[in-house]
Structure 1
Amino acid sequence: MTTSIPRPDAVLVQAVIAGALSFAHLHDLAAAAGQDGWKAWAYPVSVDLLLVAAWRRLRILRAQGEPARAAWTWFAVALAASLGANVATAGLLDLNDVPDWLRILVAGWPALAFLGGTLLVHSPTSGAADVAEPEPLPVVEPVTVPAEPDPAPEPDAVEPAEPVPALPAAPPPADVPPALVDHARKLADAHRASTGSPIDASTLRDRLGLPGPMADQLAAHLA
Protein backbone atom coordinates (compact mmCIF):
# COMPACT_ATOMS: atom_id res chain seq x y z
CA MET A 1 0.00 0.00 0.00
CA THR A 2 1.53 3.28 -1.09
CA THR A 3 0.97 6.57 0.71
CA SER A 4 1.19 9.87 -1.08
CA ILE A 5 3.31 12.57 0.52
CA PRO A 6 1.30 15.83 0.76
CA ARG A 7 2.83 18.76 -1.05
CA PRO A 8 3.77 21.65 1.24
CA ASP A 9 1.66 24.75 0.98
CA ALA A 10 3.71 27.68 -0.32
CA VAL A 11 1.85 30.17 1.86
CA LEU A 12 2.40 28.05 4.99
CA VAL A 13 6.12 27.62 4.22
CA GLN A 14 6.47 31.36 3.68
CA ALA A 15 4.68 32.08 6.96
CA VAL A 16 6.96 29.69 8.86
CA ILE A 17 10.10 31.25 7.38
CA ALA A 18 8.93 34.81 8.07
CA GLY A 19 7.89 33.90 11.62
CA ALA A 20 11.24 32.25 12.34
CA LEU A 21 13.20 35.25 11.06
CA SER A 22 11.08 37.72 13.00
CA PHE A 23 11.41 35.54 16.10
CA ALA A 24 15.20 35.52 15.77
CA HIS A 25 15.39 39.29 15.24
CA LEU A 26 13.30 39.98 18.33
CA HIS A 27 15.48 37.64 20.35
CA ASP A 28 18.68 39.29 19.15
CA LEU A 29 17.34 42.77 19.90
CA ALA A 30 16.16 41.79 23.39
CA ALA A 31 19.52 40.16 24.14
CA ALA A 32 21.38 43.25 22.93
CA ALA A 33 19.17 45.45 25.16
CA GLY A 34 20.28 43.55 28.26
CA GLN A 35 17.58 40.84 28.45
CA ASP A 36 19.71 37.74 28.62
CA GLY A 37 18.85 34.07 29.12
CA TRP A 38 15.23 32.91 28.92
CA LYS A 39 13.99 36.52 28.96
CA ALA A 40 15.40 37.14 25.50
CA TRP A 41 13.41 34.16 24.19
CA ALA A 42 10.21 35.29 25.91
CA TYR A 43 10.13 38.65 24.10
CA PRO A 44 9.41 37.31 20.58
CA VAL A 45 6.76 34.98 22.01
CA SER A 46 5.05 37.93 23.71
CA VAL A 47 5.10 40.06 20.56
CA ASP A 48 3.75 37.29 18.31
CA LEU A 49 1.00 36.31 20.77
CA LEU A 50 -0.19 39.91 21.05
CA LEU A 51 -0.20 40.20 17.27
CA VAL A 52 -2.30 37.03 16.87
CA ALA A 53 -4.68 37.97 19.70
CA ALA A 54 -5.29 41.43 18.24
CA TRP A 55 -5.95 39.97 14.78
CA ARG A 56 -8.45 37.42 16.11
CA ARG A 57 -10.22 40.08 18.15
CA LEU A 58 -10.33 42.32 15.11
CA ARG A 59 -12.00 39.60 13.02
CA ILE A 60 -14.61 38.91 15.72
CA LEU A 61 -15.51 42.58 16.09
CA ARG A 62 -15.76 43.09 12.33
CA ALA A 63 -17.99 40.02 11.98
CA GLN A 64 -20.31 41.41 14.68
CA GLY A 65 -20.38 44.86 13.09
CA GLU A 66 -18.83 46.56 16.15
CA PRO A 67 -16.10 49.21 16.27
CA ALA A 68 -12.61 47.70 16.33
CA ARG A 69 -10.42 50.70 17.17
CA ALA A 70 -8.88 49.06 20.25
CA ALA A 71 -8.07 45.86 18.33
CA TRP A 72 -6.53 47.89 15.49
CA THR A 73 -4.44 49.86 18.02
CA TRP A 74 -2.95 46.79 19.69
CA PHE A 75 -2.42 45.11 16.33
CA ALA A 76 -0.45 48.17 15.18
CA VAL A 77 1.59 48.20 18.43
CA ALA A 78 2.57 44.52 18.06
CA LEU A 79 3.30 44.97 14.35
CA ALA A 80 5.48 48.02 15.07
CA ALA A 81 7.43 46.04 17.68
CA SER A 82 8.01 43.21 15.23
CA LEU A 83 8.94 45.46 12.31
CA GLY A 84 11.11 47.62 14.55
CA ALA A 85 13.15 44.61 15.64
CA ASN A 86 13.57 43.47 12.04
CA VAL A 87 14.76 46.89 10.94
CA ALA A 88 16.99 47.43 13.98
CA THR A 89 18.88 44.19 13.39
CA ALA A 90 19.51 45.05 9.73
CA GLY A 91 22.64 47.03 10.61
CA LEU A 92 21.03 50.39 11.41
CA LEU A 93 21.89 50.00 15.10
CA ASP A 94 25.05 48.80 16.75
CA LEU A 95 23.84 45.83 18.77
CA ASN A 96 27.00 46.03 20.86
CA ASP A 97 26.10 49.56 21.97
CA VAL A 98 22.29 49.83 22.15
CA PRO A 99 20.96 53.34 22.97
CA ASP A 100 19.23 53.96 26.28
CA TRP A 101 15.82 54.72 24.77
CA LEU A 102 15.76 51.31 23.12
CA ARG A 103 16.66 49.62 26.41
CA ILE A 104 13.76 51.49 28.04
CA LEU A 105 11.34 50.33 25.33
CA VAL A 106 12.45 46.72 25.60
CA ALA A 107 12.28 46.77 29.41
CA GLY A 108 8.77 48.29 29.36
CA TRP A 109 7.37 45.93 26.73
CA PRO A 110 6.13 43.19 29.16
CA ALA A 111 3.84 45.62 30.98
CA LEU A 112 2.52 47.03 27.70
CA ALA A 113 1.88 43.55 26.25
CA PHE A 114 0.13 42.41 29.45
CA LEU A 115 -2.15 45.45 29.35
CA GLY A 116 -3.00 44.92 25.69
CA GLY A 117 -3.69 41.21 26.07
CA THR A 118 -5.91 41.79 29.11
CA LEU A 119 -7.96 44.45 27.36
CA LEU A 120 -8.37 42.30 24.25
CA VAL A 121 -9.53 39.25 26.18
CA HIS A 122 -11.81 40.89 28.73
CA SER A 123 -13.42 43.66 26.66
CA PRO A 124 -17.15 42.85 26.40
CA THR A 125 -19.06 42.60 23.14
CA SER A 126 -22.65 43.59 22.55
CA GLY A 127 -23.46 40.13 21.19
CA ALA A 128 -22.51 38.48 24.51
CA ALA A 129 -23.63 41.25 26.88
CA ASP A 130 -27.02 42.10 25.41
CA VAL A 131 -29.74 39.64 26.32
CA ALA A 132 -33.05 39.95 24.57
CA GLU A 133 -35.72 40.82 27.08
CA PRO A 134 -38.96 38.91 26.73
CA GLU A 135 -41.81 40.92 25.33
CA PRO A 136 -44.68 41.51 27.74
CA LEU A 137 -47.70 39.35 27.15
CA PRO A 138 -50.75 41.18 25.80
CA VAL A 139 -53.51 41.88 28.28
CA VAL A 140 -56.61 39.96 27.34
CA GLU A 141 -59.81 41.69 28.37
CA PRO A 142 -62.72 39.52 29.47
CA VAL A 143 -65.33 39.01 26.80
CA THR A 144 -68.99 39.11 27.83
CA VAL A 145 -70.98 36.40 26.10
CA PRO A 146 -74.64 37.40 25.58
CA ALA A 147 -77.19 35.11 27.13
CA GLU A 148 -78.93 32.74 24.77
CA PRO A 149 -82.63 33.38 24.25
CA ASP A 150 -85.11 30.95 25.71
CA PRO A 151 -86.11 28.19 23.34
CA ALA A 152 -89.46 28.52 21.68
CA PRO A 153 -92.23 26.47 23.30
CA GLU A 154 -92.93 23.17 21.65
CA PRO A 155 -96.29 22.81 19.95
CA ASP A 156 -98.93 20.81 21.76
CA ALA A 157 -99.72 18.50 18.90
CA VAL A 158 -97.23 17.21 16.40
CA GLU A 159 -98.52 15.82 13.18
CA PRO A 160 -97.11 12.37 12.43
CA ALA A 161 -94.68 12.26 9.57
CA GLU A 162 -95.52 10.34 6.50
CA PRO A 163 -93.93 6.90 6.39
CA VAL A 164 -90.90 6.64 4.13
CA PRO A 165 -91.22 3.82 1.63
CA ALA A 166 -88.64 1.10 2.14
CA LEU A 167 -85.93 0.75 -0.48
CA PRO A 168 -86.08 -2.35 -2.60
CA ALA A 169 -83.73 -5.06 -1.41
CA ALA A 170 -80.57 -5.49 -3.45
CA PRO A 171 -80.60 -8.53 -5.67
CA PRO A 172 -78.53 -11.41 -4.30
CA PRO A 173 -75.11 -11.72 -5.85
CA ALA A 174 -74.81 -14.18 -8.66
CA ASP A 175 -72.66 -17.24 -8.38
CA VAL A 176 -68.95 -16.43 -8.71
CA PRO A 177 -66.19 -19.04 -8.76
CA PRO A 178 -64.86 -19.55 -5.20
CA ALA A 179 -61.25 -19.30 -6.38
CA LEU A 180 -61.96 -15.87 -7.86
CA VAL A 181 -63.67 -14.79 -4.65
CA ASP A 182 -60.68 -15.90 -2.55
CA HIS A 183 -58.27 -14.04 -4.81
CA ALA A 184 -60.44 -10.91 -4.72
CA ARG A 185 -60.64 -11.13 -0.93
CA LYS A 186 -56.84 -11.15 -0.68
CA LEU A 187 -56.72 -8.08 -2.88
CA ALA A 188 -59.37 -6.42 -0.72
CA ASP A 189 -57.44 -7.16 2.49
CA ALA A 190 -54.23 -5.75 1.01
CA HIS A 191 -56.09 -2.67 -0.21
CA ARG A 192 -57.62 -2.07 3.22
CA ALA A 193 -54.24 -2.53 4.94
CA SER A 194 -52.54 0.00 2.66
CA THR A 195 -55.31 2.61 2.30
CA GLY A 196 -57.57 1.98 5.31
CA SER A 197 -60.72 1.86 3.16
CA PRO A 198 -62.54 -1.08 1.58
CA ILE A 199 -61.96 -1.88 -2.05
CA ASP A 200 -64.60 -0.84 -4.58
CA ALA A 201 -65.84 -2.42 -7.77
CA SER A 202 -63.86 -0.13 -10.06
CA THR A 203 -60.59 -1.03 -8.32
CA LEU A 204 -61.44 -4.73 -8.58
CA ARG A 205 -62.19 -4.30 -12.27
CA ASP A 206 -58.81 -2.59 -12.84
CA ARG A 207 -56.84 -5.09 -10.76
CA LEU A 208 -58.40 -8.29 -12.15
CA GLY A 209 -59.28 -7.12 -15.66
CA LEU A 210 -62.92 -8.20 -15.30
CA PRO A 211 -65.99 -6.77 -16.98
CA GLY A 212 -68.15 -4.36 -15.02
CA PRO A 213 -70.96 -6.76 -14.02
CA MET A 214 -68.52 -9.40 -12.80
CA ALA A 215 -66.61 -6.79 -10.74
CA ASP A 216 -69.90 -5.63 -9.19
CA GLN A 217 -70.75 -9.21 -8.25
CA LEU A 218 -67.33 -9.69 -6.61
CA ALA A 219 -67.74 -6.44 -4.68
CA ALA A 220 -71.15 -7.66 -3.47
CA HIS A 221 -69.58 -10.93 -2.29
CA LEU A 222 -66.87 -9.03 -0.38
CA ALA A 223 -69.26 -6.58 1.22
Structure 2
Amino acid sequence: MPRKLRPDAVLIQAFIAGALSFSHLHDLASAAGQDGWKAWAYPISVDLLLVAAWRRMRTTTDNRPAWVWFVIALTASLGANIATAGLLDLGQVPAWLRILVAGWPALAFLGGTLLAHTPTTPEPAPTTPAASLDAPESEPVPDALDVTVERVGEPAPELPPAPAPAPVPASVPAVSVPPALLDHAKKVADSHRASTGDRIDLATLRLRLGVPAPLADAINAQLT
Protein backbone atom coordinates (compact mmCIF):
# COMPACT_ATOMS: atom_id res chain seq x y z
CA MET A 1 0.00 0.00 0.00
CA PRO A 2 1.35 3.46 -0.78
CA ARG A 3 2.45 5.48 2.20
CA LYS A 4 0.38 8.51 3.10
CA LEU A 5 2.20 11.82 3.18
CA ARG A 6 1.96 13.34 6.64
CA PRO A 7 2.63 17.05 7.13
CA ASP A 8 5.54 17.80 9.43
CA ALA A 9 5.35 21.09 11.32
CA VAL A 10 9.13 21.41 11.49
CA LEU A 11 9.55 20.92 7.73
CA ILE A 12 6.76 23.36 6.96
CA GLN A 13 8.29 25.96 9.28
CA ALA A 14 11.73 25.43 7.70
CA PHE A 15 10.25 25.83 4.21
CA ILE A 16 8.50 29.06 5.15
CA ALA A 17 11.59 30.51 6.85
CA GLY A 18 13.82 29.54 3.94
CA ALA A 19 11.46 31.05 1.37
CA LEU A 20 11.18 34.34 3.26
CA SER A 21 14.93 34.60 3.82
CA PHE A 22 15.55 33.72 0.18
CA SER A 23 13.16 36.48 -0.93
CA HIS A 24 14.72 39.07 1.39
CA LEU A 25 18.22 38.33 0.18
CA HIS A 26 17.04 38.61 -3.41
CA ASP A 27 15.35 41.96 -2.78
CA LEU A 28 18.42 43.35 -1.01
CA ALA A 29 20.79 42.22 -3.76
CA SER A 30 18.49 43.67 -6.41
CA ALA A 31 18.30 47.01 -4.56
CA ALA A 32 22.12 47.07 -4.28
CA GLY A 33 22.49 46.95 -8.07
CA GLN A 34 22.62 43.18 -8.69
CA ASP A 35 19.83 42.67 -11.21
CA GLY A 36 18.69 39.64 -13.18
CA TRP A 37 20.05 36.21 -12.38
CA LYS A 38 22.72 37.71 -10.12
CA ALA A 39 20.12 38.78 -7.60
CA TRP A 40 18.83 35.18 -7.41
CA ALA A 41 22.36 33.79 -6.98
CA TYR A 42 22.99 35.72 -3.75
CA PRO A 43 20.47 33.87 -1.53
CA ILE A 44 21.68 30.54 -2.94
CA SER A 45 25.25 31.46 -2.05
CA VAL A 46 24.32 32.43 1.54
CA ASP A 47 22.29 29.27 2.14
CA LEU A 48 24.99 27.00 0.71
CA LEU A 49 27.59 28.56 3.01
CA LEU A 50 25.29 28.00 5.98
CA VAL A 51 24.82 24.33 5.07
CA ALA A 52 28.54 23.78 4.44
CA ALA A 53 29.52 25.33 7.78
CA TRP A 54 26.89 23.27 9.62
CA ARG A 55 28.04 20.01 8.06
CA ARG A 56 31.63 20.89 8.88
CA MET A 57 30.74 21.37 12.54
CA ARG A 58 29.14 17.91 12.60
CA THR A 59 32.15 16.07 11.14
CA THR A 60 35.16 17.56 12.93
CA THR A 61 36.27 18.01 16.53
CA ASP A 62 37.90 21.42 15.96
CA ASN A 63 34.81 23.29 14.71
CA ARG A 64 35.95 26.84 15.48
CA PRO A 65 36.60 27.77 11.79
CA ALA A 66 33.24 26.31 10.83
CA TRP A 67 31.54 28.38 13.53
CA VAL A 68 33.14 31.56 12.14
CA TRP A 69 31.75 31.00 8.65
CA PHE A 70 28.40 29.89 10.05
CA VAL A 71 28.09 33.18 11.95
CA ILE A 72 29.12 35.17 8.84
CA ALA A 73 26.48 33.50 6.66
CA LEU A 74 23.85 33.80 9.41
CA THR A 75 24.64 37.51 9.81
CA ALA A 76 24.19 38.02 6.06
CA SER A 77 20.81 36.26 6.15
CA LEU A 78 19.56 38.07 9.26
CA GLY A 79 20.89 41.39 7.97
CA ALA A 80 18.88 41.02 4.77
CA ASN A 81 15.74 40.15 6.74
CA ILE A 82 16.12 43.20 8.98
CA ALA A 83 17.11 45.57 6.17
CA THR A 84 14.04 44.69 4.10
CA ALA A 85 11.67 45.09 7.06
CA GLY A 86 11.33 48.85 6.47
CA LEU A 87 14.48 49.98 8.29
CA LEU A 88 16.30 50.61 5.01
CA ASP A 89 15.18 52.59 2.00
CA LEU A 90 15.67 50.11 -0.83
CA GLY A 91 15.37 52.98 -3.31
CA GLN A 92 18.51 54.62 -1.93
CA VAL A 93 20.88 51.92 -0.71
CA PRO A 94 23.99 53.35 1.02
CA ALA A 95 27.38 52.90 -0.57
CA TRP A 96 28.78 50.68 2.20
CA LEU A 97 25.94 48.18 1.67
CA ARG A 98 26.58 48.12 -2.08
CA ILE A 99 30.24 47.34 -1.30
CA LEU A 100 29.27 44.47 1.04
CA VAL A 101 26.88 42.98 -1.51
CA ALA A 102 29.43 43.27 -4.31
CA GLY A 103 32.16 41.66 -2.21
CA TRP A 104 30.02 38.81 -0.92
CA PRO A 105 30.77 36.34 -3.77
CA ALA A 106 34.52 36.47 -3.07
CA LEU A 107 33.95 36.08 0.68
CA ALA A 108 31.58 33.15 0.18
CA PHE A 109 34.02 31.47 -2.23
CA LEU A 110 36.84 31.83 0.33
CA GLY A 111 34.72 30.37 3.11
CA GLY A 112 33.50 27.46 1.02
CA THR A 113 37.03 26.64 -0.13
CA LEU A 114 38.41 26.65 3.42
CA LEU A 115 35.57 24.49 4.70
CA ALA A 116 35.94 21.98 1.87
CA HIS A 117 39.74 21.61 1.89
CA THR A 118 40.58 21.82 5.60
CA PRO A 119 41.57 18.31 6.76
CA THR A 120 39.16 16.69 9.14
CA THR A 121 40.59 15.87 12.56
CA PRO A 122 39.92 12.17 13.18
CA GLU A 123 38.49 11.21 16.53
CA PRO A 124 40.92 9.32 18.76
CA ALA A 125 40.33 5.60 18.67
CA PRO A 126 39.60 3.98 22.04
CA THR A 127 42.70 2.38 23.43
CA THR A 128 42.66 -0.95 25.23
CA PRO A 129 44.06 -0.53 28.72
CA ALA A 130 47.31 -2.35 29.07
CA ALA A 131 47.77 -4.95 31.72
CA SER A 132 48.87 -3.47 35.02
CA LEU A 133 52.53 -3.92 35.70
CA ASP A 134 51.87 -3.95 39.43
CA ALA A 135 49.53 -6.94 39.27
CA PRO A 136 50.83 -9.65 41.59
CA GLU A 137 52.11 -12.69 39.83
CA SER A 138 50.84 -16.07 40.84
CA GLU A 139 53.25 -17.81 43.15
CA PRO A 140 54.70 -20.91 41.47
CA VAL A 141 53.98 -24.18 43.15
CA PRO A 142 57.26 -25.91 44.04
CA ASP A 143 57.82 -29.20 42.35
CA ALA A 144 57.71 -32.21 44.62
CA LEU A 145 60.82 -33.62 42.93
CA ASP A 146 62.85 -30.58 43.98
CA VAL A 147 62.13 -31.06 47.68
CA THR A 148 65.07 -32.49 49.56
CA VAL A 149 64.22 -34.76 52.46
CA GLU A 150 66.71 -35.03 55.26
CA ARG A 151 66.95 -38.56 56.64
CA VAL A 152 68.33 -39.46 60.00
CA GLY A 153 71.66 -41.20 59.51
CA GLU A 154 72.20 -44.64 61.10
CA PRO A 155 75.30 -45.24 63.27
CA ALA A 156 78.09 -47.29 61.72
CA PRO A 157 78.28 -50.88 63.03
CA GLU A 158 81.98 -50.57 63.85
CA LEU A 159 81.43 -47.69 66.27
CA PRO A 160 80.06 -48.10 69.75
CA PRO A 161 76.42 -47.31 70.08
CA ALA A 162 75.79 -43.61 70.30
CA PRO A 163 73.96 -42.22 73.25
CA ALA A 164 70.22 -41.96 72.87
CA PRO A 165 69.24 -38.62 71.32
CA ALA A 166 67.13 -36.23 73.26
CA PRO A 167 63.42 -36.63 72.64
CA VAL A 168 62.20 -34.40 69.86
CA PRO A 169 59.08 -32.40 70.64
CA ALA A 170 56.03 -33.54 68.74
CA SER A 171 55.55 -30.06 67.25
CA VAL A 172 58.96 -30.05 65.54
CA PRO A 173 58.90 -31.97 62.22
CA ALA A 174 61.68 -34.41 61.37
CA VAL A 175 61.71 -33.17 57.73
CA SER A 176 62.58 -29.58 56.77
CA VAL A 177 59.87 -27.82 54.79
CA PRO A 178 60.77 -25.03 52.35
CA PRO A 179 59.07 -21.73 53.23
CA ALA A 180 57.51 -21.39 49.77
CA LEU A 181 55.94 -24.87 50.03
CA LEU A 182 54.65 -24.14 53.52
CA ASP A 183 53.01 -20.91 52.36
CA HIS A 184 51.36 -22.74 49.48
CA ALA A 185 50.13 -25.45 51.85
CA LYS A 186 48.57 -22.79 54.09
CA LYS A 187 46.71 -21.35 51.10
CA VAL A 188 45.44 -24.83 50.19
CA ALA A 189 44.34 -25.48 53.77
CA ASP A 190 42.56 -22.12 54.01
CA SER A 191 40.80 -22.72 50.69
CA HIS A 192 39.67 -26.18 51.86
CA ARG A 193 38.36 -24.78 55.15
CA ALA A 194 36.52 -21.97 53.33
CA SER A 195 34.83 -24.37 50.91
CA THR A 196 34.00 -27.28 53.30
CA GLY A 197 34.09 -25.71 56.74
CA ASP A 198 36.41 -28.45 58.06
CA ARG A 199 40.14 -28.67 58.55
CA ILE A 200 41.98 -30.41 55.72
CA ASP A 201 43.03 -33.94 56.49
CA LEU A 202 46.47 -35.43 55.85
CA ALA A 203 45.44 -37.52 52.83
CA THR A 204 43.76 -34.61 51.08
CA LEU A 205 46.71 -32.34 51.83
CA ARG A 206 49.19 -34.84 50.41
CA LEU A 207 47.03 -35.33 47.31
CA ARG A 208 46.64 -31.59 46.70
CA LEU A 209 50.36 -30.88 47.15
CA GLY A 210 51.71 -34.02 45.47
CA VAL A 211 54.52 -34.54 47.99
CA PRO A 212 55.88 -37.66 49.73
CA ALA A 213 54.35 -38.90 52.95
CA PRO A 214 57.17 -37.71 55.29
CA LEU A 215 57.03 -34.23 53.84
CA ALA A 216 53.23 -34.17 54.07
CA ASP A 217 53.46 -35.19 57.74
CA ALA A 218 55.93 -32.39 58.42
CA ILE A 219 53.71 -29.82 56.67
CA ASN A 220 50.61 -31.04 58.51
CA ALA A 221 52.43 -30.76 61.83
CA GLN A 222 53.27 -27.10 61.12
CA LEU A 223 49.70 -26.31 60.05
CA THR A 224 48.26 -27.29 63.44
TM-score (structure 2 length as normaliser): 0.53
Instruction: Quote how far apart the aligned CAs of 1:67 are.
Output: 1.7
Alignment size in residue pairs: 124
Q: Work out the CA distance in 2 between the residues paired with 1:125 and 1:75.
A: 17
Q: Work out the CA distance in 1 between the residues paired with 2:31 and 2:87.
A: 14
Find out whether 1:14 has 2:13 as its counterpart. Answer: yes
Q: Work out the CA distance in 1 between the residues paired with 2:3 and 2:121.
A: 48
Equivalence for 2:104: 109
Q: Work out the CA distance in 1 between the residues paired with 2:81 and 2:45.
A: 15
Equivalence for 1:173: none
Q: Work out the CA distance in 2 between the residues paired with 1:126 and 1:56.
A: 14
1:78-117 aligned at under 5 Å gives the runs 78-117=73-112
Equivalence for 1:217: none
Equivalence for 1:44: 43
Q: Work out the CA distance in 2 between the residues paired with 1:116 and 1:45.
A: 14
Instruction: Quote how far apart the aligned CAs of 1:77 are.
Output: 0.2
CA deviation map 1:30-51 (0-9, x unaligned): 0000000000000000000000
Report the residue type matching 1:44 in the other structure.
P
Report the residue type matching 1:121 in the other structure.
A
Instruction: Quote how far apart the aligned CAs of 1:7 are.
Output: 1.4
Equivalence for 2:63: 68
Gaps of 5+ in 2: 124-224
Q: Work out the CA distance in 2 between the residues paired with 1:56 and 1:4.
A: 30
Instruction: Quote how far apart the aligned CAs of 1:4 are.
Output: 5.5
TM-score (structure 1 length as normaliser): 0.54
Q: Work out the CA distance in 2 between the residues paired with 1:102 and 1:83.
A: 14
Q: Work out the CA distance in 2 between the residues paired with 1:118 and 1:4.
A: 41
Which of 110, 118, 136 in structure 1 is aligned with 2:113? 118
1:133-144 aligned at under 5 Å gives the runs none
SS at match of 1:127: coil
SS at match of 2:122: helix
Q: State percent identity of aligned pairs.
A: 76
Equivalence for 2:56: 57
Report the residue type matching 1:106 in the other structure.
V
Instruction: Quote how far apart the aligned CAs of 1:3 are.
Output: 4.8
Shift in CA distance, 127/4, structure 1 to aligned 2, threshold 3 Å: closer
Report the residue type matching 1:79 in the other structure.
L
Instruction: Quote how far apart the aligned CAs of 1:6 are.
Output: 1.7
SS at match of 1:35: coil
2:54–2:66 contact (8 Å) kept in structure 1? yes
Q: Work out the CA distance in 1 between the residues paired with 2:55 and 2:30.
A: 29
CA deviation map 1:36-77 (0-9, x unaligned): 00000000000000000000001111xxxx221100000000
2:25–2:43 contact (8 Å) kept in structure 1? yes
RMSD, matched Cα: 1.7
Gaps of 5+ in 1: 129-223
CA deviation map 1:110-149 (0-9, x unaligned): 0000000000000012329xxxxxxxxxxxxxxxxxxxxx
